[in-house]
Amino acid sequence: MSRFGVSAHRLWAMILKEFIQMRRDRLTFAMMVGIPLIQLILFGFAINSDPRHLPLAVLDADRGPFGRALVATMQVSRYFDLVHFVANEDESEQLLAEGRVQFVVTIPADFSRRVARGERPALLVEADATDPAATSGALGALETLARTALDRDLTGSLTGLKATPPPFELRIHRRYNQEADTQYNVVPGLMGVVLTMTLVIMTALAVTRERERGTMENLLVMPLRPIEVMLGKIAPYVLVGYIQVAVIVVTARLVFAVPIVGSLLLLTLTSIVFIAANLAIGFTFSTVAKNQTQAMQLSFFFFLPSILLSGFMFPFRGMPVWAQYLGEILPLTHFLRVVRGIMLKGNGPGEIAAEVGALAAILLVVSVIAVRRYRQTLD
């Protein structure tokens, strides 16, 4: 056989060796089978690009028959979940700012009377348009919905009002992102995605590298406490994270012209909690993984749901409830709300406190796991 010929025996020797090694690496083997299955089931059911059950609040200043009919229709609609009745403007403003509702429908005073008189009164809809994908479909549905609601009550002498145009004027007010520019939503979100990806991987490799190179034994025998090793490993990457934040904010402003409504200082201060949480997660992975390949696999296993279930790619409220609960565990979910809140809505400390609190809780839990998992012996 020539020098360039392929020997079946040699090829087989190589293939056989690879299979034996594959079988020895239990975690990798489990992930090869488990990951596709888990992710298929998870994302197959969770992801919905035409979201339903979006949270909505109603401000009913009319309290007349037509207002009540509207409310009743919205209550049974699959597009919306009527979660709040608000009493005044301030309250609805608050709900939108905190992202607790996606829409506020304001039924003005005298709505019923003016409909009856054929004056075509305005029905005001305020939509949180930070994520245009989540709102556009629902806004279309809202008009049809309102019309059906009123048509049922337009009987007797009012039957004439059923004709087009509708007996009211739907006035849609897109909040925070008037032009419904998707980039405004995506670019701040990317900040969270980039930080998640790079920071988790970097620390996931940090401890595994020490183990793989044999320097771990030396580190263990020196008088270092686990918390010192962990903080020492994490701290330099906090700086790296901040450099990334700065690069993204500047690019968002200069290249994508994303408005920065809120305080950059607040964004800087809250980012540290998110950065630290990601680093702690990476550190935990590196205490689980036996080698750098496994550490990479674990990082990607974490990264995929972070992108798909956090509300970065698909509207969070559009996912089934169980998937939303799952999403709440991910730091990215909370950081997206913080960063979009600050940059697009101009949220202050009060509005983002709950999300930052959630991030801090995640950080605490993961850190405890990481420190407990970090062994001071080779047992």
Partner 1 sequence: MTAAAPAIAVEGLSKSFGGRMVVDALSLTVPAGKIMGFLGPNGSGKTTTIRLLCGLLTPDHGRGTCLGLDILTQSHEIRRQIGYMTQKFSFYEDLSIVENLDFVSRVFDLPDRKRKVADTLERLGLADRRHQLAGQLSGGWKQRLALAACILHEPRLLLLDEPTAGVDPKARRDFWEQIHALAADGLTVLVSTHYMDEAERCHEIAYLAYGHLLARGTVAEVIADAGLITFTAQESGTGMKRIADLARALAGLPGLDLVAPFGSALHVGGGDAALLRHSLAPFLGDSDFVWREDAPTLEDVFIHLMSSSTDNFAGGVR
Question: Site residues (CB under 8 A) for partner 1?
Answer: 24, 213-218, 220-224, 377-379
Q: What DSSP designation does 341 have?
A: I
When the beta carbons of 263 and 291 are compared against partner 1, the nearer one is 291
When the beta carbons of 28 and 94 are compared against partner 1, the nearer one is 28
Tell the smallest beta-carbon distance from residue 219 to partner 1 (Å).
8
Tell the smallest beta-carbon distance from residue 203 to partner 1 (Å).
17
Is residue 25 helix, strand or coil?
A: coil
CB 105 within 8 A of CB 57: yes
Tell the smallest beta-carbon distance from residue 250 to partner 1 (Å).
31
Q: Which two tokens stand for residue 259?
A: 């408005």
Closest CA to 154 of 118, 202, 103, 185: 118
Q: Which two tokens stand for residue 12?
A: 């087989």
Tell the smallest beta-carbon distance from residue 287 to partner 1 (Å).
17
Strands 54-60, 122-128: pairing is: unpaired
Q: Which two tokens stand for residue 277?
A: 């949480």
When the beta carbons of 50 and 217 are compared against partner 1, the nearer one is 217
When the beta carbons of 35 and 216 are compared against partner 1, the nearer one is 216
Tell the smallest beta-carbon distance from residue 24 to partner 1 (Å).
8
Tell the smallest beta-carbon distance from residue 229 to partner 1 (Å).
10
82/334 Cα distance (integer angstroms): 23
132/174 Cα distance (integer angstroms): 9
* CA 178, chain centre distance (Å): 21
Tell the smallest beta-carbon distance from residue 212 to partner 1 (Å).
11
Radius of gyration of the chain (CA): 27
Interhelix angle for 321-329 vs 331-340, to 10°?
A: 90
When the beta carbons of 194 and 220 are compared against partner 1, the nearer one is 220
Tell the smallest beta-carbon distance from residue 23 to partner 1 (Å).
11
Ordered alpha helix ranges (H), the chain: 8-24, 26-46, 65-76, 89-97, 111-116, 132-153, 182-213, 215-221, 226-254, 264-288, 292-309, 321-329, 331-340, 349-373
Buried b (16+ CB within 10 A) or exposed e, 229-264: bbbebbeebeeebeebbeebbeebeeeeebeeebee
When the beta carbons of 165 and 223 are compared against partner 1, the nearer one is 223
When the beta carbons of 18 and 217 are compared against partner 1, the nearer one is 217
Tell the smallest beta-carbon distance from residue 289 to partner 1 (Å).
19
When the beta carbons of 177 and 208 are compared against partner 1, the nearer one is 208
317/84 Cα distance (integer angstroms): 16
When the beta carbons of 211 and 334 are compared against partner 1, the nearer one is 211
